[in-house]
Chains A and B, each alone.
Chain A
Amino acid sequence: DSGVTQTPKHLITATGQRVTLRCSPRSGDLSVYWYQQSLDQGLQFLIQYYNGEERAKGNILERFSAQQFPDLHSELNLSSLELGDSALYFCASSPSGGAYNSPLHFGNGTRLTVT
């Protein structure tokens, strides 16, 4: 068990809808990362938050947004969903601002299916 909790495990929704994925980092970790895993794109970095502030952005679509709350949990909001957004979404956490002094520990992921 990595200590990173993601909810829900599975999500099925229709095109055009909006969903929210939730992540609780390991106790003491200040950074949260979101990744998208799909068959064609592999594991893609979306966005990172560190202690409540956006720290780095990757290949995140404008329809997607995220935030990190004072208790350090994070939410990833996906709107105007398209079929191509179907993927496994991972959250990871680390104690510091990056992987330079600690690995990222990943949650079990949220499987999103857009129909």
Chain B
Amino acid sequence: AQKVTQAQTEISVVEKEDVTLDCVYETRDTTYYLFWYKQPPSGELVFLIRRNSFDEQNEISGRYSWNFQKSTSSFNFTITASQVVDSAVYFCALSEAASNSGYALNFGKGTSLLVTP
């Protein structure tokens, strides 16, 4: 069963628009970690953020912000005033303490974001 669901397969916006990428996760653990990674067209995976399950504070980093809500098992990612360079595939991932795959990351299918001028 998919533990991380990114329901939006593709999103297209015009530059300067705000865009939110949704991530819903599923776990029985009380201790877990959530991540966002960016995969630009060049193919590398770039780490963006890591949150633990005990810290529900929202985080802002420049034009990026993250909204973590345990009540809805969601960890959404918002890009404010999007730019063409934000075009990439964005992955949400879950790491569970009790998983038999150790602390390896369990990735969602990704959301492909296209920002046009």
| Contact of B47 with A45 in the complex, beta carbons under 8 Å | no
Among residues 73 to 115 in chain A, which have CB atoms less than 8 Å away from a CB atom of chain B? 88, 90, 92, 97-100, 102-109, 111
Q: Does A56 contact B (CB under 8 A)?
A: yes
Q: Smallest Cβ distance from A83 to chain B, in angstroms? A: 21
| Contact of B43 with A88 in the complex, beta carbons under 8 Å | yes
Q: Smallest Cβ distance from A3 to chain B, in angstroms? A: 12
Binds A, one of B12-20, B58-66, B76-84, B96-104: B96-104
Q: Which residues of A contact B110 (CB under 8 A)?
A: 42-43
Q: B97 — nearest CB in chain A belongs to which residue? A: A100
Q: B52 — nearest CB in chain A belongs to which residue? A: A100
Interface size class of A (residues with CB under 8 A): 20 to 34
- The verdict on A106 contacting B45 (CB below 8 Å), with A55-B102, A56-B101, A100-B33 known, is yes
Q: Smallest Cβ distance from B8 to chain A, in angstroms? A: 14
Main secondary structure of the interface of A (DSSP, over half): strand
Q: Which residues of B contact A109 (CB under 8 A)?
A: 43-45
- The verdict on A58 contacting B105 (CB below 8 Å), with A2-B44, A109-B44 known, is no
Assembled-state Cα–Cα distance A103/B33 (Å): 9
Q: Does B50 contact A (CB under 8 A)?
A: yes
Q: Which residues of B contact A48 (CB under 8 A)?
A: 101-102, 104
| Contact of B104 with A98 in the complex, beta carbons under 8 Å | yes
From A45, A98, A100, A107, B106 is in contact (CB under 8 Å) with A45
Question: Which of A99, A100, A106 gathers the greatest number of chain B CB atoms within 10 Å?
Answer: A99
Q: Which residues of A contact B50 (CB under 8 A)?
A: 99, 102-103
Assembled-state Cα–Cα distance A28/B75 (Å): 30
Q: A56 — nearest CB in chain B belongs to which residue? A: B102
Q: A106 — nearest CB in chain B belongs to which residue? A: B45
Sampled A-B contacts (15; CB under 8 Å): A2-B44, A2-B47, A48-B102, A48-B104, A57-B101, A58-B101, A58-B104, A97-B103, A98-B103, A98-B104, A99-B95, A99-B105, A103-B35, A104-B47, A109-B43
Chain A residues with a Cβ under 8 A of chain B: 2, 33, 42-43, 45, 48, 55-58, 88, 90, 92, 97-100, 102-109, 111
